[in-house]
Structure 1
Amino acid sequence: MCLPSFRPSQAALISDFRLDLVPPALPGMVGPIRRLLRDILDAIGLDPDSACLILSELVTNALIHGEGRPAILLELRDGRLHMTVSDASRTPVQRQAPDDSRASGRGLDIVDALAEAWGVEPTGPHGKAVWAVTKVGHT
């Protein structure tokens, strides 16, 4: 599945947006979702680097450890990008103990280092939502 490119003709007029996505639960979706966010933020003159890395980690965790199709909500409000990735698993999110010899398992450490705030909330009787907020400055 391909996701659309985002290139508004009058980017200077955009200051806030909301985007809801429910992509297939396929590992190959992380890249297209990250590129879509990068395209949007680039088009409106905002630095995409930290936000794209955070989003990649949240989506990857939902695909690896979650259940069902992830639901992704991206909202830019007042210079802060609010990202929420939900899945149908109630299995608690667990950060692994720091260990420099690990080849994987650092996603939430990266989110913690780059986000202003992040957390996990249950969503109804089944599922959870992992969210993060980061400031996005002008490029």
Structure 2
Amino acid sequence: MRRRLGRGDLPAVKDVRHGLRELLRRCGSQSSADVAELLTSELVTNALIHTDRGAVVTAGVGPAGLRVEVRDFTPGQPEPGRATDESTHGRGLVLVQALADAWGVRTHEVGKSVWFELGGGQV
């Protein structure tokens, strides 16, 4: 799956979730679809809110499981937030850290990709 999202296109997050669920259904890997959708939504929303040039979402399922990558075109490293009970921000990367089997950030000449993986036994 590959989707290009325009700057601030938050309604597209729903379409990305549906596309991911369809990918997992076609691959017979639906057991962790809810977690995959949640983490993907968080990364896509972060990219669209905290950058100003849109994002590209790629997802694939292979022998090792699911890998989702969200690339933006703005420099800077994302950091897991420190949300308070009253805060509506700062939980996205904390969720990714807690629920993904692996995650990270890869820098590009222009921008970065934030990715996560869910293992084959869990997807």
Range class of TM-score, shorter chain: 0.7 to 0.9
- Aligned residue number for residue 12 of structure 2: 29
> Can you give the 5+ residue segments of structure 1 that lack an aligned partner in the other structure?
1-18
* Structural mapping, 1:1-139, within 5 Å: 19-25=1-7, 26-47=9-30, 48-124=33-109, 126-135=110-119, 137=121
RMSD: 1.9
**CA shift at 1:64, angstroms?**
0.5
Deviates more, 1:109-118 or 1:88-97: 88-97
User: Does the 8 Å CA contact 1:20/1:72 hold for their aligned counterparts?
Assistant: yes
Aligned mates of 1:136, 1:113 — CA distance in 2: 17
Distance 1:121 1:62, change over 3 A: same
TM-score when normalising by structure 2: 0.86
TM-superposed CA distance for 1:74, in Å, is: 0.8
Instruction: Say how many residue pairs are matched.
Output: 120
Percent of residue pairs bearing the same amino acid type: 33
- Stretches of structure 2 lacking an aligned partner (at least 5 in a row): none
Q: Post-superposition shift, 1:98?
A: 4.6
Work out the CA distance in 2 between the residues paired with 1:135 and 1:101. Answer: 33
